Structure 1
Amino acid sequence: MRKKAKSEVNKPILRGAEVSRAIRNYLLDGDLAPGSRINEVQLASNLGVSRTPVRAALQALAGEGLVEYKDNRGFFVREFQLSDVLDAFEMRALAEGFAVRLAAERGISPQSELDVEKALALGRKALSAETSEQARTDYSASNEAFHRAIHDASRSRLVKDVVALCNSVPQTIFRNVMSFSMETLAHRVEQHEAIYEAIIARKPKEAEDIMRTHVLDVRRAIMRDMSRKSGA
């Protein structure tokens, strides 16, 4: 029997759900190129598991629309057209706007207030970061935390389900926005602050309008980036 290398012995054993989550993150973060064939053997090796949980995860992800199976050829990373991305953003803007309207109408819990305020504090921290890379990292974390807290504050399962569906299009995930500037970052942080103020003031229409503008601003930025990339 081959003696296991030290790195293999110490490598954690991933469960099926963890394998699916890891591959999903690869796809959503763009680590696997759109349209490329997925090498199951290499993927299994990278994750330190056999091909069985990898294949099960890919079958599940095919059901989510993130990958495609082609007869006798295997699994491929799904390619999304610009129209798919724009449609997903339109739907996300509606869902996110609905979430803040519900939060403002129903009022938010002390825990939700705390979660939102922590996210806003991280956003303000991003504005004073020493490097643009650190600013982007801090803002990305702040943004994800802010929207997650808003979804929780809405107390709506429907909102979470619709946003999860939109997230099956990788380009709609806010951390994947390619365009970046400190001016843009500052504007988005201001929008977060304004959304929260409208929720606390119990102004549902105002909160909804700002949130929809916020999401559609990102949509426009991604549309510009994708158009430039396709024309390069």
Structure 2
Amino acid sequence: MAEPHTSTELATERLREAILSGELLPGDKLRQDRLAEMLGTSRTPLRAALTTLAQTGLVSYESNRGFFVREFSFSEVEGAFEVRAELEAMACRLAAGNMTDAARRHLADLVAEGDRLLEPGELLPEKLPEYRRMNVNFHTAVMRLSGNSWITTCVQQLHNVPAASDRVIMWRDFRVILRSHDDHHRIARALSKGQGERAAGIMREHITFALEHLHLQMQLYPQDFLRMPNLEEPVRARPARNRRNTAA
């Protein structure tokens, strides 16, 4: 995604990230005075940003009531995951034929960054934004290597369903984070060897498992749905009921 340049683009990106990260939750009323203060922007670009996000489906508007963070049913979330799994699997198949030494190094560097962040045996709260950024960059890199810009465009649209976004996939168990990151290792290795079908299968399972785990977490801890972790506590190997989830 291109870097925002205008005040409206910057406000749109900041608001989008606040929603996708769980800082703003489904059903929240988007009060422009509070948002302007939170995002450090004036109300004019903020109003334009809200209109843009309403057009892309991340925000809803009701006459005489204003803007709200859009709420999605689980069937909508499930559908977004299923389409994302197929598109990113396709990206892997295509990317395998476009690998260069620079591309191999880039994927290897991203995987190594994830290793570094998980090395303590827990995902430390202050490292969560870095891990989430690494995850986004890894998936984006694979899609760009596919050479098909429509894959990136369509997947970015699917990320407007917050629970299906690569920014906010919820975990309570550190072992699940390790499993997810091991998938990154295996996808990178398969792509480096030109094994497109193998990488595609791993990517499809990677995203499908995320959906299954999200469904389980929603059943066990419905109060935490789409909420980010309590940043006062790390995500450790043993789950605890009062812990929220973390991205992978």
Once residues 115 and 166 of structure 1 are traced to their aligned partners in structure 2, the CA distance between those partners, rounded to angstroms, is 25
- Flag the structure with higher helix content: 1
Once residues 52 and 148 of structure 1 are traced to their aligned partners in structure 2, the CA distance between those partners, rounded to angstroms, is 31
2:23 matches 1:35? no
Following superposition of structure 1 onto structure 2, how do residues 14-29 of structure 1 map, counting pairs within 5 Å?
15-29=7-21
Unaligned 5+ segments in structure 2 are 1-5, 225-248
Determine which structure has more spread, i.e. the larger CA radius of gyration: 1
Shift of residue 137 of structure 1?
4.9
2:178 matches 1:186? yes
Structure 1 residues 183 and 81: alpha-carbon distance in aligned structure 2, compared to 1, 3 A threshold:
same
- Give me the CA root mean square deviation: 2.0
Query: Structure 1 length as normaliser, TM-score?
Result: 0.86
Shift of residue 42 of structure 1?
1.4
Q: Choose the corresponding residue for 1:109, options 100, 103, 108.
A: 100
Shift of residue 131 of structure 1?
4.1
Asked whether the 8 Å contact 1:116–1:145 carries over to 2, the reply is no
Shift of residue 41 of structure 1?
1.4
Structure 1 residues 100 and 147: alpha-carbon distance in aligned structure 2, compared to 1, 3 A threshold:
same
Q: Which residue of 1 aligns with 2:42?
A: 50
User: CA offsets, 1:136-185, max 9 Å, x none?
Assistant: 55543332221121112111101101110110001112331222323222
Once residues 141 and 13 of structure 2 are traced to their aligned partners in structure 1, the CA distance between those partners, rounded to angstroms, is 21
1:127 partner letter: L
Structure 1 residues 17 and 120: alpha-carbon distance in aligned structure 2, compared to 1, 3 A threshold:
same
1:68 partner letter: S
Moved over 4 A (4+): 134-138
Q: Secondary structure at 1:132's aligned position in 2?
A: coil
Once residues 36 and 158 of structure 2 are traced to their aligned partners in structure 1, the CA distance between those partners, rounded to angstroms, is 27
User: CA offsets, 1:59-85, max 9 Å, x none?
Assistant: 000001011110111111100111111
Unaligned 5+ segments in structure 1 are 1-13
Query: Structure 2 length as normaliser, TM-score?
Result: 0.81
Shift of residue 223 of structure 1?
1.1
1:155 partner letter: G
